[in-house]
Amino acid sequence: MDHSRPLWEFHVIDFPTSEAAGAVAIRMHHSLGDGVSLISLLTACTRSAADPARLPALPSPPPPRRSAPPLSAGALALAAWAWSLVALAWNTLVDVALFVATSWFLRDAPTPFLGSPGVEFRRKRFLNCTLDLDDVKLVKNAMKCTVNDVLVGVTSAALSRYYFRKIGETSSDKRKPRKNIRMRSALLVNIRKTPGLHTLTQMMDPSKDNAVKWGNQIGYIVLPFHIAMHDDPLEYIRQGKKTADRKKRSLEAVFTYWSGNLVVKLLGIKAAAALCYGMFTNTTMSFSSLAGPTEKVEFYGHPIVYIATSVYGHPHALTVHFQSYMNIMKLVLAVDDEQFPDSHQLLDDFAESLRLVRQAASERS
């Protein structure tokens, strides 16, 4: 972007599509803030469609994290809490070691998804489809997991469908996980003490103890994806939940955030950028999800039909974003145009995977 001007652009595209009468494309430099900050800013610029005099309703905050049991708790509860701390320390140590190795030399195996050198300079294509958030919640309730667990599982199912079709394998052994496939994503994690979406007034509070302050309050984790073909579509959700639960019992994201700040202070921004670039180069894709307003909103009197967020400029050929708004979940893919000439087929794989998972969960219920 032109650094002699403010690092944001606002484009009104007065052209009708199958979903809306027009579109607004907002391009902003990532130095201005992370996804939570920018979505909060966008939400502050809108008003409720039902009552234009008030701000939109935001998603309910997630339940608070479990704290230490009181001293009056039984010995079993205290022992379980102590063991969880030991597991947290061990998982963090292992994840940090793997993260550092990934930043330096540990590269994913070649797959149809892994970008080639220089992919960050090539043209990206952005494409999206609309998924039903109620379908995601139905699977969540049936499998007793979180929305993000479902999204990880559906992504794993979609990538598996695309992978095995791309390599042209049809034998029965493709149903077994491939141990030689190192398929990992760089996942951005909001490390604010109070997770979720917040009002802009809260985020702009200048007090030092503000737990939801504006800016780039994100850490990175390396999230592996399960590549296999299963007769039971819900197996992808089980594997996704297992992987996500393991990462939740680690402080990898907090470590990468604070260590990144430390590297900037001690060695400068170029050293920190080199480590970050190595992590992106040695992983296969980027993955992220964001929550949006839970009701229909208007932007200066114009009703917003959907919100689609994505990012580019990093060395990945594939970036997967999920953005919720009202009762829909928008899936946005950013792909290297040269590497994914069939990108719409990959998009269809996500929709079909959610349909199969939803059908299996409904039958189970």
* Number of other residues whose CB lies within 10 A of the CB of residue 17: 10
Distance CA 358, CA 347 (A): 17
Q: Tokens standing for 256?
A: 């990468």
Spell out the SS3 assignment of the chain.
CCCCCCCEEEEEECCCCCCCCCEEEEEECHHHCCHHHHHHHHHHCCEECCCCCCCCCCCCCCCCCCCCCCCCCCHHHHHHHHHHHHHHHHHHHHHHHHHHHHHHCCCCCCCCCCCCCCHHHCCEEEEEEEEEHHHHHHHHHHHCCCHHHHHHHHHHHHHHHHHHHHHCCCCHHHHCCCCCCCCEEEEEEECCCCCCCCCHHHHCCCCCCCCCCCCCCEEEEEEECCCCCCCCCHHHHHHHHHHHHHHHCCCHHHHHHHHHHHHHHHHCHHHHHHHHHHHHHHCCEEEEEECCCCCCEEECCEECCCCCCCCCCCCCCEEEEEEEECCEEEEEEEEECCCCCCHHHHHHHHHHHHHHHHHHHHHHC
Note the Cα 102 to chain centre separation in Å.
19
Give long-range contacts, CB 8 A cutoff, 24+ apart: 25-29: 27/1, 29/1
Which residues, in sequence order, are CB contacts of 117 under 8 Å at separation 6+?
A: none
Catalytic residue list contains 226: no
Catalytic residue among 3, 11, 29, 30: 30
Distance CA 26, CA 303 (A): 16
For residues 357, 362, 363 and 365, what is the CA-based torsion angle, rounded to 10 degrees? 120
- Residues marked active site are found at 30
